[in-house]
Amino acid sequence: MKLFNIDDIRQFWSTDPRFINQFKPNQITKFKPYSKYPTCYKDVTFWLNNDKFSENDFFEVVRSVSGDLAESC
């Protein structure tokens, strides 16, 4: 773990290609951390004109538009 700069032993059981592809046989390379969540190419950005933002109001709008397609993380 120290040699490869890996801080969590559970990484050794990972099947995630982002982990596995960092290492080659007979070669010592330092581990480069990555997000624990998979890549998502869809994103939502919005701008508020005031500071009276309520997460619950936002979630209500999302649920009303998407129905069962949206879920919380």
The domain locations on the chain are 9-68
Residue 60 pLDDT > 70: yes
Residue 23 pLDDT > 90: yes
Give the chain's mean pLDDT.
83
Residue among 27, 26, 31 at smallest CA distance from 4: 31
Q: What percent of the chain has pLDDT over 90?
A: 37
Residue among 41, 43, 39, 23 at smallest CA distance from 31: 23
Return the biggest CA–CA distance within the chain. 57
Of 9-18, 33-42, 62-71, highest mean pLDDT: 9-18
Residue 48 pLDDT > 80: no
